[in-house]
Amino acid sequence: MTAHEIQMKQHEGPPAYKMYRVENQKTLQGLWRNFDGTVSPVFSNLTQGNCRNMPMDDSDFYREEGKQWFACCRRPELLKSWFTPLDIVELESLGYGLYCFTVSRYRDISEYESVFTREDIIDCWSLEPSSIWGEEYLNIKTKKQ
């Protein structure tokens, strides 16, 4: 998909879009890049690392409009395609968490990935991973403690 095609899929309107993302809230680092956009694959520290199989090549559309666009999912269940319950437990030990963002606009990259900018965030709150990964997550987390 070209940057132009992504631009055409931009959504704007009332600030009511919920996006789901795993990140380190202290550093704002995701799994592929630091906040400044340099590659820093945190997923290489994970035992299973489902997300390392997702295509996250560096592209100019992550920097369009002179802004940084952050990867996310439009529906929480899509995160299961990116992360296993073990991935989430290991990411938590590295300072990462699961967050829901309300944003005023976003762009779809694919069925599994959307992006938003920090400037478009209206609200953000943490989510309990068991609300997505259920008992399997809770069992793994209990064993790791």
Given this model, what pLDDT does residue 10 score? 55
Given this model, what pLDDT does residue 127 score? 96
Residue 99 in contact with residue 125, Cβ under 8 Å?
yes
What's phi and psi for 57, nearest 5 deg?
Answer: -60, 150
Nearest to 44 by CA among 85, 81, 79, 94: 94
Q: What is the pLDDT of residues 43-81, one digit of tens each?
A: 777 888 777 666 666 666 767 788 888 889 999 999 998
Given this model, what pLDDT does residue 7 score? 45
Given this model, what pLDDT does residue 35 score? 60
Note the pTM of the prediction, 2 decimals.
0.81
Residues of the chain under the 70 pLDDT cut: 1-15, 32-41, 52-60, 62
Provide the token pair at 34.
């630091």
Q: How far apart, in whole angstroms, are the C-alpha atoms of residue 60 and residue 73? A: 19
Given this model, what pLDDT does residue 54 score? 65
Residue with tokens 């996250």: 56
